[in-house]
Amino acid sequence: MRLGESQILESSEAQQAFGKALAPSLERGAIVFLEGDLGAGKTTLIQGFLQGLDFVGEVNSPTYALMQHYPTPHGLVLHVDAYRVRDPLELWSMGLEEYLEEARASFLEWGESFYGSFPEAWILRLEHVAQGRKITRVR
């Protein structure tokens, strides 16, 4: 997906298919920030991404755990929910830096306070629209 490009995803299945198609196109070590209201489909997109990396298992939102780790045949995928994190140092003290170095790809929800630390990271915005969800690459 190119910078500034948007796509309408009409169903959860379409969101998963988008994530699955994204899997081979992200470079190893990619960091992707996911913006979107509750229910916008951030975890659904990651479910598809993991399918694209041949992950078999349950995929849950990291809301309560803060970080979920998914070992795939193509490398570790990290999924972070920073909504309740008030200070980025809190995640660094949990070992985020080491996980990021090891990960095939990392997804951070509610990670606006980390944007400056990762200028090369993608930012994908998911929005509710009448037709389903709109996903836009804003960086």
Evaluate whether 48 touches 37 at the Cβ level (below 8 Å).
no
Q: Is the dihedral of CA 63, 64, 69, 70 positive or negative?
A: negative
CATH of the domain at 130: 3.40.50.300
Q: How far apart are CA 66 and CA 58, in angstroms?
A: 16
Report if residue 1 sits inside a domain: no
Residue 101 lies in a domain: yes
pLDDT tens for the chain, 139 residues long, are 899 999 999 999 999 999 999 999 999 999 999 999 988 999 999 999 999 999 999 998 887 778 899 999 999 999 998 887 777 777 777 778 888 889 999 999 988 888 988 899 999 999 999 999 999 999 9
Domain assignment of residue 43, yes or no: yes
Q: How many domains does the chain have?
A: 1
CA distance 124 to 37: 12
Query: Domain residues for 30?
Result: 6-137
Closest to 47 in 3D by CA, of 71, 74, 17, 82:
17
Residue 89 in domain: yes
Q: Is residue 60 part of a domain?
A: yes
| Local structure of residue 27 (DSSP, 8 states) | P
